Amino acid sequence: MFGGGGGGFAAAQGYGGGGGGFDQPEAAMNPPATQGLAGFLNDGGGRAQEAPQGGAKAVAHTLTPVTIRMLQDGVQEKRQNGMNMGPDESIRVNGRELHMLTLVACVEGMQMQQLGMIVTLNDGTGRMECQMYADSDAVSNGPDFQVGDYIRVYGHLRNWNDEDRITAHRISKIENPNEIAHHTIEVAHVHLSLTGRLVKAVKASPGGGGAVPFSGGQNFAAGPPPGGAGGT
């Protein structure tokens, strides 16, 4: 729909895919916030809000941005450890137990069933089915998306009859292509933060003029070495 479909960056680690986009008006260059490192769903189920203080209840409502590849890797890891998936079993993503999730993907197929609707998703890192039950607005009022559209899904990963599916609580059509790239960046940022690999900015020392020395090189803010620029 929006073009692209390339691997993005770090596709091998499950961050790539989706991609694409084109020039947008200034108002469209700022996609709405979705969730952050400790994002939580509010009553509306969409926008993130500030996380409350601690507690198991807060953890159970943590919203994590993911890719399909990350979900598949989490399921595979659990089975390799001799643990079976079940309807209420959870996997680990970013080294933590996964509860609520959100992902952005392209709709490859739609199938209406007696109990609801099955949507086949592909985000460039993998393919997975997503189920919405008949009592949800997207099913009872008719979906506002079609095959080829990009959508954002909020829900949980569930296993029924040995099939891994996302049970969606809410699905919204992507209107701004920048949200696709925004989600990819957000997935990478949260992953690096939770795994302790996010490099924090180095604060400039007082009187240092804000210069930061190069690793293994010369601090040019300190002036040339003794003997001139060429050294001795």
The verdict on residue 98 lying in a domain is: yes
- Judged by phi (left if over 0) then psi (alpha if -120 to 50, else beta), residue 95 lies in left
Tell me what pLDDT residue 223 has: 54
Residue 83 pLDDT > 70, yes or no? no
CB within 8 A of 166, min separation 6: which ones? Answer: 71, 101, 103, 121, 128, 129, 130, 131, 153, 155, 156, 157, 158
Residue pair 152/179 in contact (Cβ under 8 Å)? The answer is yes
Distance CA 208, CA 222 (A): 8
The verdict on residue 13 lying in a domain is: no
The verdict on residue 199 lying in a domain is: no
The verdict on residue 209 lying in a domain is: no
The verdict on residue 47 lying in a domain is: yes
pTM value surpassing 0.75: no
- Chain centre distance of CA 21: 17
The verdict on residue 12 lying in a domain is: no
Residue 103, helix vs strand vs coil: strand
Distance CA 49, CA 52 (A): 9
The verdict on residue 100 lying in a domain is: yes
- Segment 119-144, tens digit of pLDDT: 999 999 999 999 998 776 666 677 89
What residues make up the domain containing 189?
A: 25-194
Q: Please report the beta strands in 53-162, taking only residues with DSSP state E, as ranges in sequence order.
A: 63-65, 92-93, 96-97, 100-113, 116-122, 127-133, 150-160
Number of structural domains (the chain) is 1
- Segment 31-81, tens digit of pLDDT: 444 444 434 333 333 333 444 455 555 555 689 999 999 999 988 887 787
Distance CA 46, CA 48 (A): 7
The verdict on residue 212 lying in a domain is: no
Radius of gyration of the chain measured on its C-alpha atoms: 22
- Segment 206-228, tens digit of pLDDT: 665 555 544 444 454 455 555 55
